[in-house]
Chain A
Amino acid sequence: MATARRATVLALLLGCSRTRAPTSPPLRDELGRPVHVRTLPAHRVVSLAPNVTEILFALGAQETLVGVDSFSDYPPAATQVARVGTDLEPSFEKIVALRPDVVVTATTANPQQAAEAIERMGVPIYVTRTETLADLEPTVLDLGVLVGRAQAAHALAARIREGVAGVRAATARAPRVRTLLLVWSDPLFVVGKHTYTSDLLAAAGGANVAEDAGDGFPKYSLERVLRHQPEVMIVGSHKNDDPKQSPFAYWQRFPELPAVRTGRLHAVDGDLIFRPGPRVVEGARALAAILHPELAR
């Protein structure tokens, strides 16, 4: 609320910049909205999502990054770039002060109001939408065009495509393992269908038992977990996690669950499976190693 109000005040103060004439032909972002990037390719980019930051680094476009959100921590060099606040509440003042040609957001990380508030201050916003694994390739190519690295983008897209295909081929003959992907245990949030994480699980030879939860990363019912009897439960770990607290402590009271009974409770580096970026291949491999240890050579 407070930030939205502040944004409005700023927008009024900076009203003149809103009328600035576009200096390049309109480009369309992944929501199909026209974006008047100040120069194309963009030389000064602010990334408000960790996956966008990772993709831009992988394209060799780190020189264009003048600002990143505070969760952008990979590759390590990303932490040297100026911070502009969190994905949810970026600092509008810092963004404007960086004079970016374009600010890149992600529908999976940033609220649309934040993007629109920045846009009202006359800063062009390019929204990426990478909700499923199939969306990742277009996002990489679009970002390649945005920063003038189309060739590197084609190479990166191919590398991701082939990497995931390799994991898919390796697990193709293995039986599907009924898996629950946890975002949070109590209250319970899970990985639903039509998500890149669920797609990675499928490539790794798993079946998401929480497909009935709906799209995205919804709240889920404990009763359904007990009904679906997952064979494996996987949680995305984070470096901010309390090392003293097991992510599975909550589940130990349910020995009725096959995953608990057989000890198939695993943590995967959350950044590999919850960031639709270049490292999803590693994420798919990590999931496959958990689901199908028999395939590991």
Chain B
Amino acid sequence: MNAPVAPRVTAARLGGVLALLALALAGALVLAVTIGVETVSWRAALTAGTPDRAIVVQARLSRVLLGAVVGAALAGSGVTFQALLRNPLADPYVLGVSAGAAVGATLAILSGAGWAPLLPVWAFLGALGTVALVYAVGRVRGRLVPHVALLAGVVFNAFAGGIIVALTFLARPGRAQEVLLWLVGALGSPAWEHLLAVAAWTALGLLALVVLAPRMNALALGDEGAHSVGIDVEATRRALFVAASLLTGAAVAVAGPIGFVGIVVPHALRLLLGPDHRLLLPASALGGALFLSLCDTAARLAFLPLGSEPGVGVVTALIGGPFFLVLLWRRRGERLF
């Protein structure tokens, strides 16, 4: 990996960058809460029991916070998969991990076991299963070959899509519709306990990754390099895979598979901040929250005349698709696979 020359990560720089991102995120959240289908009287919104307050708190704030949590989870897992596969195109969506999580969650919903706070667990199991498969296929003679793993993920992605469609055919009509609508990648207004559950899962996963960030840096040196600086490569990989699966599962369980957040955000921040994961990881989590909040606001603004809120997955795909292609284009001189 051609590491760009980046300043060293000092406590001051870390604090400064994260504070800046947190501030931007706070701004985006405030903006998101002020924009919606209905015009709200802010004076009335301060009074409990008014429709205005319900619109702001129940309909908007819960959705906005959910978007921030999901964005953080997706960007965090994106950074991790990129470090694991040493490839900037890796992300939970492209690798099929989101689709695997969706299969897990779909099975839970269709079987009636889909109690919302535990849905992330099902999605996590689906994500973990996908990762295990991708990893098993990607290991050639005991060594992880990133492009084989990446291709295995791409193939599994399509396969998982087929599984889900097949499952919905077997389901009772109402349930199938529920799954299909959820698969579009949408942010609804969740109940607070669901939001709390997802936030807790996400916090757990991100915390684990922050602790593992120095080891992610070592992985960039290659297997031998990491080994030579005293890292147990296998154990590190396993821990990272589990943490990234946890994050993907949490995000997919509540919002369906939303694409491209895991690529766009880490890559943009890597260009700005350099490849050191001690900074890149927490910055990506905040950046992911910021990016998805802005996408959601854009989605709601764009469809304002229609009087309904579209899926945020549409907007992330509209931004992420071209971004992905530009990324490929700019790297066309390099050996990708």
The residue among B53, B172, B186 with the most chain A CB atoms within 10 A of its own CB is B172
Contact B308 A221 (CB under 8 A): yes
Which residues of B167-202 are within 8 A (CB) of A? 172-175, 177, 181, 186, 188-189, 191-192
CA A280 to CA B38, docked complex, whole Å: 34
Contact A226 B54 (CB under 8 A): yes
Taking CB atoms, residues of chain B closer than 8 Å to A184 are: 177
Contact A256 B177 (CB under 8 A): no
Taking CB atoms, residues of chain B closer than 8 Å to A253 are: 58, 191-192
**Min CB–CB distance B169 → chain A (angstroms):** 10
Which residues of A241-277 are within 8 A (CB) of B? 241-242, 244, 253-254, 256-257
Check if A222 is an interface residue, CB within 8 A of chain B.
yes
Which residues of B4-44 are within 8 A (CB) of A? 36-38
Chain A 51-72 interface 0/1 with B at a Cβ cutoff of 8 Å (1 = within): 0000000000000000000000
Contact B59 A226 (CB under 8 A): yes
Taking CB atoms, residues of chain A closer than 8 Å to B308 are: 188, 213, 218-221
Taking CB atoms, residues of chain A closer than 8 Å to B60 are: 223
Check if A227 is an interface residue, CB within 8 A of chain B.
yes
Check if A33 is an interface residue, CB within 8 A of chain B.
no
Taking CB atoms, residues of chain B closer than 8 Å to A186 are: 188
CA A220 to CA B55, docked complex, whole Å: 14
Contact A222 B59 (CB under 8 A): yes
Taking CB atoms, residues of chain A closer than 8 Å to B36 are: 221, 223
Total contacting residues, chain B, CB less than 8 A: 27
Contact B307 A220 (CB under 8 A): yes
CA A242 to CA B38, docked complex, whole Å: 33
Taking CB atoms, residues of chain B closer than 8 Å to A241 are: 174
CA A222 to CA B303, docked complex, whole Å: 14
Given known A-B contacts A213-B307, A219-B308, A242-B112, A227 and B175 have beta carbons under 8 A apart? no
Taking CB atoms, residues of chain A closer than 8 Å to B309 are: 221-222
CA A226 to CA B51, docked complex, whole Å: 6
Taking CB atoms, residues of chain A closer than 8 Å to B49 are: 256
Check if B2 is an interface residue, CB within 8 A of chain A.
no
CA A214 to CA B36, docked complex, whole Å: 18
CA A214 to CA B305, docked complex, whole Å: 12
**Min CB–CB distance B163 → chain A (angstroms):** 17
Contact B189 A212 (CB under 8 A): no
Taking CB atoms, residues of chain B closer than 8 Å to A227 are: 38, 51, 55
**Min CB–CB distance B10 → chain A (angstroms):** 45
Contact B112 A223 (CB under 8 A): no
Taking CB atoms, residues of chain A closer than 8 Å to B58 are: 222, 226, 253-254, 256
Contact A242 B59 (CB under 8 A): no
CA A184 to CA B175, docked complex, whole Å: 11
Contact B175 A242 (CB under 8 A): yes
Chain A 207-251 interface 0/1 with B at a Cβ cutoff of 8 Å (1 = within): 000001110001111111011010000000010111010000000
Contact B51 A221 (CB under 8 A): no
Q: Which of A218, A224, A240 has a CB less than 8 Å from the CB of B37?
A: A224
CA A219 to CA B60, docked complex, whole Å: 17
Chain B 52-65 interface 0/1 with A at a Cβ cutoff of 8 Å (1 = within): 01110011100000
Contact B191 A242 (CB under 8 A): no
Find the A residue at minimum CB distance from B188.
A186
Check if A187 is an interface residue, CB within 8 A of chain B.
yes
Total contacting residues, chain A, CB less than 8 A: 26
Contact B51 A229 (CB under 8 A): yes
CA A221 to CA B49, docked complex, whole Å: 19
Find the A residue at minimum CB distance from B50.
A256
The residue among A187, A213, A238, A242 with the most chain B CB atoms within 10 A of its own CB is A187
**Min CB–CB distance A240 → chain B (angstroms):** 5
Given known A-B contacts A238-B174, A256-B54, A256-B58, A222 and B112 have beta carbons under 8 A apart? no
Taking CB atoms, residues of chain B closer than 8 Å to A256 are: 49-51, 53-54, 58
Given known A-B contacts A187-B186, A242-B175, A224 and B112 have beta carbons under 8 A apart? no
Taking CB atoms, residues of chain B closer than 8 Å to A240 are: 172-174
Contact A221 B307 (CB under 8 A): yes
Chain A 174-211 interface 0/1 with B at a Cβ cutoff of 8 Å (1 = within): 00000000001011100000000000000000000000
Contact B38 A221 (CB under 8 A): yes
Which residues of B240-257 are within 8 A (CB) of A? none
**Min CB–CB distance A280 → chain B (angstroms):** 22
Which residues of B304-320 are within 8 A (CB) of A? 307-309
Given known A-B contacts A254-B54, A254-B58, A256-B49, A223 and B38 have beta carbons under 8 A apart? yes
Contact B307 A212 (CB under 8 A): yes
Taking CB atoms, residues of chain A closer than 8 Å to B189 are: 222
Taking CB atoms, residues of chain A closer than 8 Å to B172 are: 240, 242
**Min CB–CB distance A202 → chain B (angstroms):** 21
23 contacts between A and B (CB under 8 A): A184-B177, A186-B188, A187-B188, A188-B308, A214-B307, A218-B308, A220-B307, A221-B37, A221-B309, A222-B58, A223-B36, A223-B37, A223-B38, A223-B55, A226-B55, A238-B173, A238-B174, A240-B174, A244-B112, A254-B58, A256-B50, A256-B54, A256-B58
A223-B59, A256-B54 known; 11 other A-B pairs, CB under 8 Å? A187-B188, A213-B307, A220-B308, A221-B36, A221-B38, A221-B308, A223-B38, A224-B37, A224-B307, A240-B172, A240-B173
Chain B residues within CB distance 8 Å of chain A: 36-38, 49-51, 53-55, 58-60, 112, 172-175, 177, 181, 186, 188-189, 191-192, 307-309
The 3 closest A-B pairs by CB, nearest first: A256-B54, A223-B38, A221-B37
